[in-house]
Chains A and B, each alone.
Chain A
Amino acid sequence: MRTIVAIIALLAAVVGLQAMQERRQPLGLPPGATGNVLYVRSPEFMRRAALSYHALLADVYWIRAIQHYGGTKLTNDANKQYDLLYPLLDLTTSLDPNFDIAYGFGSLFLAEPYPSGPGRPDLSIALLQKALRAQPDKWRFREDLGFIYYWWLNDYVTAADWFKRAGELPGAPNWLRPLAAVTLAQGGNIATSRTLWTEVFNTADQDWLRTQARFRLRQLDALDEIAALERVVEVYRARTGSLPRSWIDVIRAGYLPGPPADPAEYPLQLDPASGKVTLARDSSLNPLPGTTAPTATVPIAPTVPAVPTAR
């Protein structure tokens, strides 16, 4: 009986102390220090140390990469550090060179501009080049490379070349070759971008990628809407001889039925000095392609859908 009482008392004490510990402020780190630690960075060493459990260890590093990316992206820290993302993806894909999704998603994570990602399309390219060395016959990686050159580097010639090379591989979808031609001829226009993202949406086999494509298509809708509104503003100026001071002027003149909103339902902003139309600072569609994130007074919502995280 005494033993049971002692066990219960000690258990209660342990739980109580843990609860006290939880209420304490975390000790924190010195200014400038990061809590991100990766003890082993050498893929060669890990390949040997994993013995016959490469694939399992690759899964562990993949989950760590997801957590690192998602956790950093969602943190309110002003100085977000994605410094471990590439080393984690490098380890994952070195341990399991056939881990296709780590190349595909990893390249998207790496290219995503700061603060939603590290903004390193060069590392995306390095990762996809590694994928092609491991699996040279995979058209998807060539398409992904073209995509990075197209979307993040605006290098339409190289993008078209990769789309063309992807289309040459067996099993590649038949829309890749026309896409290469269109990219070369009209690279950078919204219609081409829409074709690209629509194909990504239609062929995506993962929910996350489909959601990402849907988000990008909404951004393109916003760009179309902004272009249409700027034409309306131009018509207003041509008729009245001056720019509207606000949307109210345009509505009163009968050009719009009400204040316009972007596809995410945030009100669109009109600059009375230039007649330019922009997204609201806190719109979840920020930053639009070809623009930089505005200096927001409120935290900018993630520009891509959040990946699952757990801490």
Chain B
Amino acid sequence: MRVIRHVAVNVFKESVRDKVLYNLVVFAVLLISMSYLIGQLTAGQDMKIIKDLGLASISIFGLLIAIFIGIGLVWKEVERRSIYALLSKPMRRSELVLGKYCGLVLTLLINIAVMTIAFYALLAYINWVIDPAVRLSWPAPAVDPAMLKAIVLIVIELMLVTAIALFFSTFSSPFLSAILTIGIWVIGHFGADLRNFGGVVGSPVAAAVARGLYYVLPNFSAFDVKAQVVHGQAVPLGYVGLTSLYGLTYLALVLVGAVAIFSRRDFK
């Protein structure tokens, strides 16, 4: 555990050195400037649009970090040949993989925490300056704690994406890993289509394959409750809990796969 922590802290420090946290500045500028511009561009629904934009930005920035750092985590060590020095140290290969994963998740968590605080601060400010009569028309309060449910599910989704990116990076190049991770992420949003595929094709084999893929591939659409929380619709805690459990189980599966591949990999 101590080894994993050391590796994780190093990955985090490296991401700070790589200026990954600069995205927070971009996020803040984007959100503040858009919240002003939206008021000029649209008629009503400013709060909905600001919330949509904030949640989508948290998700997109996190996704970019998860994919584009995740795919280089192991590959960079191999490319720089520092993997030999690392593996000569008293640590298991599994500890190296899990440490890398935890480091990137730590980077993600800190990023998302800061973005969430900035997002809530902006919403609180808008809530403070806006006409109280306008507030009455909002389906949910500006500083709505229910949005945290969406953010929790975004975090779990990004942890899963990170695990997938790391999995591919244990045996392929960054370019291929990025393509494969993005491909899995995109297909993972078509769960409902895969499930209903049998209704639109005549072949029972094709339908069974699609049904099988529906169960095997990660169902990323389940993590998306952004629209529901913005519209003030109820998202039961049971749903959040079950979806989180699904995500954590899936990422455990992917990490076990990543460790298994990395442990058997020959670096000669």
Interface residues of A (CB under 8 A from B): 48, 51-56, 58-59, 62-63, 66-67, 96, 98-99, 101, 105, 205-208, 307-308, 310
Chain A nearest CB, measured from B37 CB (Å): 8
| B41–A63 CB distance below 8 A | yes
Q: Is B134 an interface residue (CB 8 A)?
A: yes
Q: Which residue of B lies closest to A64 (CB)?
A: B41
A-B contact pairs, 25 of them (CB 8 A): A48-B190, A51-B220, A52-B220, A52-B224, A52-B226, A53-B56, A55-B56, A55-B230, A59-B48, A62-B42, A62-B49, A63-B42, A63-B49, A101-B43, A101-B45, A105-B44, A205-B133, A205-B137, A207-B44, A208-B43, A208-B44, A307-B43, A308-B42, A308-B43, A310-B40
In the complex, chain A residues whose CB is within 8 Å of the CB of B38: 63
A55 to B221 alpha-carbon distance, docked (Å): 13
Chain A residue nearest in CB terms to B39: A308
Residues in B neighbouring A53, C-beta threshold 8 A: 56, 59-60
Of listed B41, B190, B230, residue having the most chain A CB within 10 A: B41
Given contacts A206-B43, A308-B41, 12 further A-B pairs with CB under 8 A are A52-B224, A59-B45, A59-B53, A63-B38, A66-B41, A66-B42, A98-B231, A101-B45, A205-B133, A208-B43, A307-B43, A310-B41
Select A52's contact among B44, B59, B136, B193, beta carbons within 8 Å.
B59
Count B interface residues, CB 8 Å.
31
Q: Which of A56, A105, A207, A308 has the most CB of B within 10 A?
A: A56
Residue in A51, A55, A206 whose CB lies within 8 Å of B52: A55
Chain B residues in the interface with A (C-beta under 8 A): 38, 40-45, 48-49, 52-53, 56, 59-60, 133-134, 136-137, 186, 189-190, 193, 220-221, 223-224, 226-227, 230-231, 233
- Rounded to whole Å, the gap between the CB of A134 and the closest CB of chain B is 11
A96-B42 contact, Cβ under 8 Å, with A48-B190, A51-B186, A205-B134: no
In the complex, the answer to whether A59 meets B40 with C-beta atoms within 8 Å is no
Decide if A205 touches B136 in the complex (CB within 8 Å).
Answer: yes
Once the chains bind, are A52 and B40 in contact (CB under 8 Å)? no
- Known contacts being A52-B220, A96-B227, is A62 close to B45, with CB within 8 Å? yes
Q: Which residues of chain B come closer than 8 Å to A206, judged between CB atoms?
A: 43-44, 137
Instruction: Report B67 CB to chain A, min CB distance, Å.
Output: 14
